[in-house]
């Protein structure tokens, strides 16, 4: 039984460490829902949520400044295969909620 207890403790520690690793894990639906509930609904928000955690965790708007986002979005719109309208909508969403510089 002691071995079970140790295993459970180890897995708890691993879970906590994983949670602190930064970025928003797209598989954690509860956390994702809570994070996105803070923004009012918009087209840009919906596209961001659908397209922007396919290759990495969500990098939320407030993790970058409004000066940084357009340059990042020039690279990421291509990666996410956004058309010009979709890109503009996402740029509007992320810069609106960007980190204060």
Nearer to ligand HEC (CB atom), residue 5 or residue 54: 54
- The stretch near ligand HEC (CB under 6 A) out of 7-15, 16-24, 28-36, 48-56 is 48-56
Q: How far is the CB of 16 from ligand HEC (least distance, A)?
A: 25
Question: For the CA atoms of the chain, what is the radius of gyration?
Answer: 17
Q: Which residues contact 89 (CB under 8 A, 6 or more apart)?
A: 42, 43, 44, 47
Nearer to ligand HEC (CB atom), residue 33 or residue 50: 50
- Nearest CA to 90 out of 50, 54, 63 is that of 50
Among 31, 49, 59, 99, binds ligand HEC (CB under 6 A): 59
Orientation of helix 69-79 relative to helix 84-96, angle to 10°: 140
Residues contributing to the site for ligand HEC (CB under 6 A):
48, 51-52, 54-56, 59, 64, 72, 75-77, 79-80, 90
């Amino acid at each position: 039984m002691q071995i079970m207890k140790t295993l459970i403790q180890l897995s708890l520690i691993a879970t906590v460490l994983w949670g602190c690793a930064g970025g928003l894990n797209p598989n954690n639906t509860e956390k994702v829902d809570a994070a996105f509930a803070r923004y009012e609904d918009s087209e840009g928000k919906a596209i961001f949520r659908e397209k922007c955690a396919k290759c990495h965790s969500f990098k939320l708007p407030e993790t970058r400044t409004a000066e940084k986002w357009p340059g990042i979005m020039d690279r990421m719109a291509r990666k996410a295969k956004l058309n010009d309208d979709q890109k503009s909508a996402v740029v509007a969403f992320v810069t609106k909620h960007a980190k204060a510089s």
